Structure 1
Amino acid sequence: MKNLTDSFLSLGLWSSAGSFGFNTDILATNPINLSVVLGLLIFFGKGVLSDLLDNRKQRILKTIRNSEELRRGAIEQLEKARARLRKVEMEADQFRVNGYSDIEREKSNLINSTYQTLEQFEIYKNETIRFEQQRASNQVRQRVFQQALKGALGTLTSSLNNELHLRTINANIGMFGTLTEIID
């Protein structure tokens, strides 16, 4: 302690002596110098340090607020995206269902039109067969008729003589005359 008081005394002497010198006693001068420097730092640096800390605190709070706002915005966008995704999924399901029903409808229409076409072909085939049968039947009848007529003419020609021929003509003329009297 004696050194400490000696250093205060020597400070007082310095100002009165008007001279400047170094005190080489480290134990006496160091704690005083440190306490003076610390005192000055605390006195003058307290405002600067508190301003720096307040600025830092404000920046951190602002960053936190901005982060919270960004997080809220991101959550809102996420919810909107989820809603759009649900809507798109519903539309996709609806398109899928409509697509399947359209395919089934087209398939049914194709089957029905094919069935109707086959029925029309069957009707056309049956009509064609009937027509061809009638035509063939008519041709057969005509040939049979022609053959019968040839045969009848041949028989008539061979069995008719002039006398039988004249009697047949007279009988037919008589029948014709009777028919005309009845009609009149």
Structure 2
Amino acid sequence: MGNMGNFLFLAAEAVHSEMAEGAAEGGFGLNLDILETNLINLVILIGILFYFGRNVLTNILNERRSTIESAIQDAESRLSEAKSSLTTAEEQLKQAQQEAQRIVNSAQEKAEAAKTAILAQAEVDVQKLQATAAADLNAERDRAIAQLKQQVVALALKKAESRLGEGISDDAQQTLIERSIAQLGA
């Protein structure tokens, strides 16, 4: 690009000097003197620019084209990689969602099983508590009955002793002996 810039600068400078000379002479006009206007120099300069500049410009444009093409190819390859990565990520997301749903379902099943087991154990515990309470109540009742029997026996013995102390009539003694014999014989 450096050579091309130099050529363009020289061409612009030559045109500028031509215009300045025409304006200095009193106005705008055409100077047809070929040597004075440097028309030959300009034609040579434009020819050189065209001859050498064409190759430089062609090379620059070719380089630019290849750079753009490689950038496009690179962008297309990155796009295809991104699409592939997106597809993979979507598949992984779908699998993760399925796994999460499976875990939730499994947790719900385990929670339901645990709930059932806890309720069954609570039922067994309640039945054990009821049985224990009934056994305790029966034992307490039996103890109270035994205590009452002891008290009744003690009172009966006291009453019997007091009656014995008063004496038993002969008829009552005879009746008591006969009953005792009858019970022993039976």
The TM-score bracket by the shorter chain reads 0.5 to 0.7
2:31 alignment partner AA: I
Q: What residue number does 2:137 align with? A: 129
> Which residue, out of 154, 157, 164, partners 1:156?
164
How far apart are the structure 2 equivalents of 1:146 and 1:44? 147
Structure 2 residue ranges without an equivalent (≥5) = 1-20, 23-29
Cα drift, residue 34 of structure 1: 3.7
- CA drift of 1:93 comes to 1.1
Aligned residues: 147
Give the counterpart of 1:101 among 97, 109, 134: 109
- For residue 161 of structure 2, what is the amino acid of its counterpart? L
What's the offset of the Cα at 1:55? 0.8
Quote how far apart the aligned CAs of 1:145 are: 1.4
Quick check: which has more Rg, 1 or 2? 1
Q: Give the match for residue 138 of structure 1.
A: 146
Q: Which runs of 4+ in 1 moved over 3 A?
A: 23-35
Structure with higher RCO (Cα < 8 A, 6+ apart): 2
Please give the alpha-carbon distance, in whole angstroms, between the structure 2 residues aligned to 1:38 and 1:101: 90
* Structure 2 Cα separation of the partners of residues 152 and 65 of structure 1: 127
Are 1:39 and 2:44 counterparts?
no
List per-residue Cα deviations over 1:117-167 (Å, max 9, x = no partner): 1111111111111111111111111111121122222223322489x98x9
Query: What one-letter code is carried by the residue in structure 2 that aligns with 1:95?
Result: I
Shift of 1:63: 0.5
Structure 1 residues not aligned, in runs of 5+: 1-22, 180-184
TM-score normalized with structure 1 length? 0.68
Q: CA RMSD in A?
A: 2.9
Deviation at 1:32, TM superposition (A): 4.4
Pick the aligned partner of 1:91 from 92, 99, 104. Answer: 99
How many percent of aligned residue pairs carry the same amino acid? 25
Inter-partner Cα distance in structure 1 for 2:39 and 2:131: 127
- What is the CA deviation profile of residues 45-65 of structure 1, one whole-angstrom value per residue up to 9, with x for unaligned ones? 221111111111111111011
Q: Distance in 1 between matches of 2:39 and 2:115?
A: 103
What does residue range 1-184 of structure 1 map to in structure 2 within 5 Å? 26-27=31-32, 28=34, 29=37, 32-160=40-168
Map Cα deviations across residues 5-24 of structure 1 (whole Å, 9 max, x no partner).
Answer: xxxxxxxxxxxxxxxxxx98
